[in-house]
DNA sequence: CTGAAAGCGCTTACAG
DNA sequence: CTGAAAGCGCTTACAG
């Protein structure tokens, strides 16, 4: 055990110390700090020397309080850890914000809208000058709060703006459609879906809708029993999801997961059960996390450009805070990463070959 | 395009508004907020009603400035994204801090000590009341700053405290020793290491040292050419690392990676080259990220308990800020996760079987 | 138990 | 171009 070092924290120099040392008023020091051009060169230099002498660095809290500009941005993501892409987005967001002189307050809501609301509230109380959220669905309390504070806010991982909040992301529904069309083109007719849509997850919901669109378009039925809903998009839930789908009388030959982590679980569980992917069954994920390309077989998925989303979010916020205009909906391309977890549908037991007519 | 909603941000109620409505002084409102027991029940209730009426919520910045307590903690990690464990640590840290009433400012240094210093400086300027860092190596500027501000600071992912900064983590060196002993017990004699130690990464360095310890103990040589150093612990660098090791005249049969991401790259590249793991070559990683258990073969690695580290860091900081004492070195157990990427060393071409004498 | 006053460390009109 | 004064929204001794 050891008490925390109660070292002689030489008290921080403050603006008034600099003013005294440089023999100028506080106002002048403040000007040298914020608009140096305005002050006479010789005085400016005197102040700058004093700043160096005292190793002075302004208190951002005081500055924020008096100027009304906090230079801190807050973000609430569903989860920071695990095999999700949000951490990549947060990393890019922080990096870009840092470049622009902002700091980032981070919190994760665990996919819980009520918790998200509380966190937004906290961020706002802490004086966040801007907000980066995820998805297009928020609790009404959260929306009320955002409107009330009226600070620049953007939402991410969706291209749909609701409630006037600018959105940056891919078209989840369309991407899922394309992924499904790929599977259809490989002859698949029996689909299974594993989705984390329990807690009003609009991204996953859009993806499921996209799958349905494509299937409807092709006249392929999707029994309700073939859609497994899980709460969290974890590897473990992917395993469970597959276990559920394997109990169906007509086992799917194509499994669409709304997240890569779920797909990893599916592939892992399939292997354990002696099923071969893609010969026995094709699997697709969503997001294209970095390990998706390294599994065996490598996972077919859709690229969700988290880093770019984070970067753009920072850029937009910074622009909005400068009073500029930002796009309401920014749709990023969602490229398909077609790899080896998808293949031609296994021949149906009832018909030896897939008829070219179909 | 759309200008950012310049909605009629109904200006936030402030403490003085509450005071006026409740017909009391600001001091009283402040007391109701911070030590309700102190104020007479009827007045207290009047104030609380006013608070609800106005939907009042105190400005944390102002509160911080006047009280001298910011209730925000800052953390600097090497990286937030990718397949590293830090995001799991940050998630747990944030979660635990939230429970205790603190918010978290996050930044990532990209394994750059100079950048880490700048970020610490920024965090301090923003009034961070505590700091969570990574590793036991810091720039002297950073150390000076930490001492100067004298705020509670802990460091993570290492069990070694240097400079008096409490440390929470596993014994990286010992863990690497154990991992190596496992490999030795399987008959391996030719080792290769892929390490990200370029930028003064003390964790990786300790791991490499641990490997050397175990090898020295067993009298197994480790030619300098068998240690490949990479800058960042990415999957891609794992691939490159293996490529380098395969060019050696005596190709290693056991490859130790200082990080799971590197090991994933090695396994992926090995597969691409038709090498079979673990028959042709054993591979071990470090950290036990969630996908490590799902690869084929599943990766043998060491569990780095990121979530627990994050949680403890929050707990310690909170204790330290309450003036309590915290342990200087907290060593967490590093369990070996022995899976299928490790196996008996392939028979040497020069001797049909491993002699029992060896 | 409550209120008036000063202060936290800055910025910002307002004069000069 | 520079300074004195007021103010940002709270808290905290100090009186009463």
What CATH code is carried by the domain that includes residue A21?
Answer: 1.10.260.40
pLDDT at residue B10 greater than cutoff 70:
no
Q: List the B71 CA – D11 C1' distance (angstroms).
A: 15
CA angle B281/B285/B286 to nearest 5° reads 160
* Torsion sign across C-alpha atoms B118, B124, B125, B127: positive
Compute the half-sphere exposure of residue B201: CA atoms within 13 Å on the CB side of its CA.
26
CA distances from B92 to A24, A101, B306 (A): 48, 27, 8
- Do B194 and B296 reside in the same domain of the chain? yes
Nucleotides, chain C, CB distance < 7 Å: 1-13
Quote the pLDDT of residue A4. Answer: 46
The partner residues of A301 in beta bridges, in order of sequence, read A337
- Do A102 and A21 reside in the same domain of the chain? no
Nucleotide nearest to B16 (CA to C1'): D9
Q: Is residue B10 part of a domain?
A: no
> Shortest CB distance from A107 goes to which of B82, B94, B264?
B94
Q: Which of A302, A324, A353 marks a domain boundary?
A: A302
Q: Which residues of A touch B294 (CB under 8 A)?
A: 235, 264-265, 267-268, 295
Q: Is residue A66 part of a domain?
A: no
pLDDT at residue B9 greater than cutoff 60:
no
Name the residue closest to the C1' of C12 by its CA.
A67
Q: Is residue A351 part of a domain?
A: no
Q: Is residue A123 part of a domain?
A: yes
Q: Is residue B278 part of a domain?
A: yes
- For A14, other C-beta atoms within 10 Å of its C-beta total 16
B290 CB-near residues (< 8 Å, 6+ apart)? A82, A83, A235, A261
Label residue A112 exposed, middle or buried (CB < 10 Å: 0-12, 13-18, 19+).
middle
Q: What is the DSSP letter of A303?
A: B
- Do A166 and A190 reside in the same domain of the chain? no
B3-16 burial code (b ≥16 CB/10 A, e <16): ebbeeeeeebbbbe
pLDDT at residue A117 greater than cutoff 80:
yes
**pTM higher than 0.95:** no
Quote the pLDDT of residue A6. Answer: 44
Q: Which residues of A touch B165 (CB under 8 A)?
A: 5
B90, A80 contact by CB (below 8 A): yes
Quote the pLDDT of residue B199. Answer: 67
Strand D contacted by A38 CB (< 7 A): yes
Q: List the B13 CA – D10 C1' distance (angstroms).
A: 13
Read off the tokens for A202.
């609009």
Nucleotide nearest to B31 (CA to C1'): D11
Nucleotides, chain D, CB distance < 7 Å: 1-13
- Do A100 and A205 reside in the same domain of the chain? no
- Do A190 and A154 reside in the same domain of the chain? no
Q: Which residues of A touch B91 (CB under 8 A)?
A: 79-82, 108
Read off the tokens for B157.
């992912």
Distance between CA atoms of residues B318 and B93, nearest Å: 11
Q: Is residue A7 part of a domain?
A: no
Quote the pLDDT of residue A148. Answer: 87
- Do A221 and A200 reside in the same domain of the chain? yes
- Do A297 and A193 reside in the same domain of the chain? yes
* Torsion sign across C-alpha atoms A126, A131, A133, A139: positive
Encode pLDDT of B21-62 as tens digits. 999 999 999 999 999 999 999 999 999 999 999 999 999 999
A175, A212 contact by CB (below 8 A): no
Q: In terms of residues, how long is chain B?
A: 358
Strand D contacted by A27 CB (< 7 A): yes
Residue A188, classed as helix, strand or coil, is coil
- What total of structural domains would you count in chain A? 3
Backbone angles phi, psi at B296, to 5 degrees: -125, 105
- Do A197 and A285 reside in the same domain of the chain? yes
- Do A193 and A268 reside in the same domain of the chain? yes
- Residue B105 to chain A, least CA–CA distance (Å): 4
- Do A202 and A255 reside in the same domain of the chain? yes
Distance between CA atoms of residues A341 and A259, nearest Å: 14
Q: List the A27 CA – D6 C1' distance (angstroms).
A: 13
In this prediction, residue B322 has a pLDDT band, given cuts at 50, 70 and 90, of confident
Kindly provide the residue ranges of all beta strands, DSSP E only, lying in A143-280, ordered along the sequence. Answer: 153-156, 167-169, 191-195, 227-229, 254-257
Nearest CA in chain A to B265: A294
Least Cα distance to A277 among A344, A232, A208, A193 occurs for A344
Q: Is residue B346 part of a domain?
A: no
- Do A181 and A265 reside in the same domain of the chain? yes
Encode pLDDT of B58-93 as tens digits. 999 999 999 989 999 999 999 999 889 999 999 999
Q: Is residue A64 part of a domain?
A: no
The CATH number given to whatever domain includes residue A197 is: 3.40.50.2300
- For A357, other C-beta atoms within 10 Å of its C-beta total 4
* Average confidence (pLDDT) over B247-251: 94
Helix axes B140-149, B113-125, angle to 10 degrees: 20
- For A154, other C-beta atoms within 10 Å of its C-beta total 28
Q: Which residues of B touch A148 (CB under 8 A)?
A: 9-10, 12, 55
Q: Which of A259, A282, A302 marks a domain boundary?
A: A302
Q: Do B4 and A149 touch (CB under 8 A)?
A: no
Quote the pLDDT of residue A322. Answer: 87
Read off the tokens for A253.
């030959």
B19, B49 contact by CB (below 8 A): no
- Do B287 and B184 reside in the same domain of the chain? yes
* CB–CB contacts below 8 A, A to B: 217
Quote the pLDDT of residue B357. Answer: 42
Nearest CA in chain B to A329: B1
Read off the tokens for B239.
């691939």
Backbone angles phi, psi at B317, to 5 degrees: -60, -45
- DSSP letters of B157-215? S-S---TT--EEE--HHHHHHHHHHHHHHTT---EEEEE--TTT-HHHHHHHHHHHHHH
The residue range of the domain holding B291 is 172-302
Q: Do A82 and B325 touch (CB under 8 A)?
A: no
* Average confidence (pLDDT) over B184-213: 93
- For A326, other C-beta atoms within 10 Å of its C-beta total 20
């Amino acid at each position: 055990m050891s008490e925390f070092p109660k070292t002689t924290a030489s008290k921080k120099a403050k603006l008034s110390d600099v003013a005294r040392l440089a023999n100028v008023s506080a106002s002048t020091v403040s000007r040298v700090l914020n608009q140096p051009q305005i002050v006479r060169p010789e005085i400016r230099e005197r102040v700058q020397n004093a700043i160096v002498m005292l190793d002075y660095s302004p208190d951002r809290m005081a500055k924020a309080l008096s100027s009304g500009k906090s230079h801190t941005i807050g973000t609430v993501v569903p989860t920071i850890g695990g095999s999700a892409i949000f951490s990549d987005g947060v990393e890019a967001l922080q990096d870009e914000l840092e470049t622009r002189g902002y700091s980032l307050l981070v919190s994760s809501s665990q996919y819980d809208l009520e918790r998200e609301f509380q966190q937004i509230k906290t961020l706002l109380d802490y004086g966040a000058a801007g907000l980066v959220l995820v998805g297009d669905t928020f609790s009404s309390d959260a929306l009320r709060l955002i409107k009330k504070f009226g600070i620049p806010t953007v939402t991410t991982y969706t291209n749909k703006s609701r409630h006037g909040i600018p959105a940056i992301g891919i078209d989840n529904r369309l991407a899922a459609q394309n992924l499904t069309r790929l599977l259809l083109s490989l002859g698949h007719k029996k689909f299974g879906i594993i989705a984390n849509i329990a807690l009003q997850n609009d991204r996953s919901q859009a993806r499921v809708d996209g799958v349905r669109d494509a299937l409807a378009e092709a006249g392929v039925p999707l029994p309700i029993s073939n859609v497994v809903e899980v709460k969290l998009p974890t590897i473990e839930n992917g395993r469970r999801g597959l276990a559920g789908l394997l109990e169906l009388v007509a086992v799917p030959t194509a499994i669409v997961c709304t997240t890569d982590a779920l797909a990893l679980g599916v592939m892992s569980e399939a292997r354990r059960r002696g099923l071969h992917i893609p010969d026995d069954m094709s699997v697709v994920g969503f997001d294209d996390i970095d390990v998706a390309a390294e599994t065996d077989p490598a996972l077919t998925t859709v690229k969700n450009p988290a880093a770019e989303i984070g970067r753009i979010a920072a850029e937009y916020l910074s622009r909005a805070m400068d009073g500029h205009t930002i796009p309401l909906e920014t749709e990023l391309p969602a490229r398909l990463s077609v790899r080896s977890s998808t293949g031609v549908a296994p021949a149906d037991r009832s018909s030896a070959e897939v008829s070219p007519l179909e």
